[in-house]
Structure 1
Amino acid sequence: MSLIWVGLVMGLGGTIAMDLWALALNRAARVPLANWGNVGRWVVHLFNGKVFHDDISAASAIPNETAIGWVFHYVVGVIYGIAFAIGAGAAWFAAPAFVPIWIFALVTIAAGWFFLHPGLGLGVALSRTATPWKGRIMGLIAHTWFGLGMWLGALVA
């Protein structure tokens, strides 16, 4: 199987695992689900040249922004999966170890902390939210699930 195909499976697996974790937290502890509409709104405004917002919810609404946000979420997950597969190379797939992919998954949170969050108006690493450290820790846990899902995807593919 090509590294691109395996990376696609890994990225989908990781993103699904992350979403299942979020759903479990929502059901068990009433943790709110991600607002993919805000992300979709940001993506469309990003392509229109506006990267950073003071408050993305104050930006003009976009048709189908929730669907756009979900697609963006999965595309990013697949890109990360393919990037890891190519970077790790075929040798890693002979005996896929969890720790390297877990570290990679934790590092991917940097894009959210330093690009997406400021873009949405939440500040660097959620610094403009009421409980930034709670959000950061929850993000690292979610990215651990992403890594677990990617690793399981590698084992299956």
Structure 2
Amino acid sequence: MPETTAMLLHAAVIGTGATLVMDAWAILRQRLLGVPALNYGLVGRWLAWLPRGRFRHHPIAATPPVRGEQAIGWIAHYLTGIAFAGILLALGGLDWTHRPTLAPALIVGLGSVAAPFLLMQPAMGAGIAASRTPRPNVARLHSLVTHAVFGVGLYGAGWVIRLVAG
């Protein structure tokens, strides 16, 4: 298999696996700690308004809903996980999948928190790093933990590929 194809396939599997781990954490967090799960429909709403020239919302929940926003948001969520897995593989190469290590996966996972802190939250009316939310430090901690869990998911999915591919 050509290296580019292998990279794309591995990124898809690792990113999907890591995003599933992140989503499982969100369910567990909701049941154990009562923290509401993220509404990816709002991400879909934000994305659907982009072609209409609207980048910022104050807040996104006050913006009129868009048909299909749930599906758009969930697809974007998984594609984003795949993109970050692609970054991991771009940094570590396919060799990383032969000998997955935790540090690069955690670095990428924690680094991925820049997306919500600097892009999504400000654009959706929550401010940089949730600064306009009622409890910014709590929101930041939840984001950091969730993205660390995503990093652990990258590592775990790397091991699944190693075990399956032999």
The reply to whether TM is greater than 0.5 is yes
Whether 1:127 aligns to 2:118 is no
Does the residue aligned with 2:94 lie in a helix, a strand or coil?
helix
- 1:99-148 Cα offsets, whole Å, 9 max, x none, are 11101110111011011001110000000001111111111110111011
Partner of 1:98: 102
Q: Distance in 2 between matches of 1:91 and 1:81?
A: 14
Partner of 1:155: 159
Whether 1:65 aligns to 2:75 is no
Partner of 1:52: 56
Q: Distance in 2 between matches of 1:16 and 1:45?
A: 27
Q: Which has the higher contact order (CA 8 A, sep 6+)?
A: 1
Once structures 1 and 2 are overlaid, which stretch shifts more, 122-131 or 32-41?
Answer: 32-41
Give 1:49 deviation, angstroms: 2.0
User: Which ranges of structure 1 fall in alignment gaps of 5 or more residues?
Assistant: none
1:9 aligned residue (10, 13, 18): 13
TM-score by length of 2: 0.90
For these two proteins, the number of residue pairs brought into alignment is: 157
Q: Distance in 2 between matches of 1:19 and 1:129?
A: 22
Whether 1:113 aligns to 2:117 is yes
> Which residue identity does 1:113 align to in structure 2?
F
- Give RMSD over aligned pairs: 1.2
Does the residue aligned with 2:88 lie in a helix, a strand or coil?
helix
User: Which ranges of structure 2 fall in alignment gaps of 5 or more residues?
Assistant: 162-166
Partner of 1:137: 141
- 1:72-98 Cα offsets, whole Å, 9 max, x none, are 111111111122112211332332110
Partner of 1:75: 79
Does the residue aligned with 2:123 lie in a helix, a strand or coil?
helix
Contact kept? 1:38, 1:65, Cα under 8 Å:
yes
Moved over 4 A (4+): none
TM-score by length of 1: 0.94
